Structure 1
Amino acid sequence: MIIYFIIALGLAWLLQSIFGFWQIRHFNRTFAEYRRLGRVAVGKRTGLFRAGTVVLFVIDKRNKILKASKMQGVTVFSRVRPLPGFEEKYLLKIGPEELAPHDRLTKMAIEDALRTFDIVTKGGDIPPKKTPLQKLMNLYTKKRGET
């Protein structure tokens, strides 16, 4: 009986890997297509046990948004879809009125795209985000009084 459980677990992992590969391939093809149109500003808000969101803004030389898309979801079935309301607007002039109709995770991903774009255009490096393990280790060292 346990062998069937192990086989089922292995098949589920294999299926998830295949679907994950297809999702990444779809995203990479979309990104490559967008790069042919112009520069691309990318923002993300990842979720461990909730929906993750990635936004893509294709912009011209004057930072005018030519195309806006997002990929949001918890599963490997999420795909890149149009993000309405941003075409023909200037990326750095996106304000609360453009963000209002969108959900919290999308707003956070858009803000990340704006922050990342600002850092890159000024010649800076994007600081890597801490992993959950790094955050846990920081908590542990703070409790012990280490720096």
Structure 2
Amino acid sequence: MTTTLIAIALIAWCIQIIFSWLQIRRFNRAFLAMKRGTYLGIGRNETTRFKPRVLIAISLDEHQVVIDSVLMKGITVFALPKPIAQLHGLSVANIIPENIFPNDSACQSALIVALSAKNNN
């Protein structure tokens, strides 16, 4: 019985490692496919145990206008990267995270972090 439980735990652990690797690979592919500008920022929200983790990557051109973006949000390893269409074409000065994500404080926080390095320069 103990051997069976250990074997099940080991198999579950290996499956989780494989799914995590696939998720990282999906994000890296989306990230590498982004149009490159003069600034590329990545932000994530503060992590809590049972709320979705959010990763946002944005790319700005030389005029500080968003030319590409990626959002990855989820609790499980099945989260997929998606573009944030409402950001494309906006100037950094016109981006208000509360307007882009009105009901999602995690996405607002990640967007603020992604833009914060640009504002510090």
TM-score (norm 1): 0.72
State the shift of 1:66 in Å: 1.2
In structure 2, what is the Cα distance between the partners aligned to 1:6 and 1:12? 10
- 1:53 matched to which residue of 2? 54
State the shift of 1:71 in Å: 0.3
State the shift of 1:81 in Å: 0.9
State the shift of 1:100 in Å: 4.7
Structure 2: 5+ residue runs without aligned partners?
A: none
- 2:63 matched to which residue of 1? 62
In structure 2, what is the Cα distance between the partners aligned to 1:51 and 1:85? 21
State the shift of 1:53 in Å: 0.3
What is the Cα-based RMSD across aligned positions, in Å? 1.8
In structure 2, what is the Cα distance between the partners aligned to 1:95 and 1:101? 10
Bigger relative contact order, structure 1 or 2 (CA pairs below 8 A, ≥6 apart) = 2
Q: Rg larger in 1 or in 2? A: 1
- 1:130 matched to which residue of 2? none
Q: 1:100 to 1:79 in 2, by over 3 A?
A: closer
After TM superposition, list the pairs within 5 Å mapping 1:102-141 onto structure 2: 102-119=103-120, 122=121
- 1:12 matched to which residue of 2? 12
TM-score (norm 2): 0.86
State the shift of 1:27 in Å: 1.1
| Partner secondary structure for residue 37 of structure 1 | coil
8 Å contact from structure 2 (residues 42, 57) kept in 1: yes
The share of aligned pairs that are identical, in percent, is 26
- 1:91 matched to which residue of 2? 92
Q: 1:29 to 1:10 in 2, by over 3 A?
A: same
State the shift of 1:68 in Å: 2.3
